Amino acid sequence: MIIQLIAIVIKTYHEVSAIKKKFRWAIAILVIILGIILVSSNSNYEITENLYGFPIPITAELVQESERVKSYNWSRASEENGIPLDYEIVLKLNGWKKGEREGANVLYTKGNHTINLASYHKVIDIMER
């Protein structure tokens, strides 16, 4: 009876070990995939010198510029949904903290600098505050 109990414990241990090994592989693959997504997302944005290093989508076309506001045509912008998740991630990775949201306007801060990002239908306005 003791021998059977020991055999069951050993068998259970091997089954648990196999599950843990599969789980570790799944986590490793997931981390690699997320890393690839983050790196490729970051390459879709360029850091601007005149907006305190605020990332701008490289596919956005500058259509209007004043001293404090830059307007871009960008097909991925939406008033209802705001900016895409990958843009939010890039902003966060570059040190910009998301603040208050009022309608289409969202404030982002980094140190002493604040940017108001307004997202409309296929247009974004980036304003220094």
pLDDT, tens digit, 9 for 90 and up, residues 92-117: 989 999 999 999 999 999 999 999 99
pTM above 0.85, yes or no: no
Number of neighbouring beta carbons within 10 Å of residue 86: 17
Please report which residue ranges of 43-125 form alpha helices under DSSP H. 85-93
The answer to whether the beta carbons of residues 116 and 98 sit under 8 Å apart is no
What is the pLDDT confidence band of residue 42, given thresholds at 50, 70 and 90? low
What is the pLDDT confidence band of residue 6, given thresholds at 50, 70 and 90? confident
Residues whose CB is less than 8 angstroms from the CB of residue 99 and which lie 6 or more positions away in sequence, other chains included: 106, 107, 108, 109, 114
**3-class SS of residue 70:** strand
Number of neighbouring beta carbons within 10 Å of residue 90: 21
Tokens coding 83: 């900016």
Strands 97-102 and 105-110: antiparallel
Q: Which single residue is written with the structure tokens 């986590």?
A: 27
Q: Which single residue is written with the structure tokens 């108001």?
A: 116
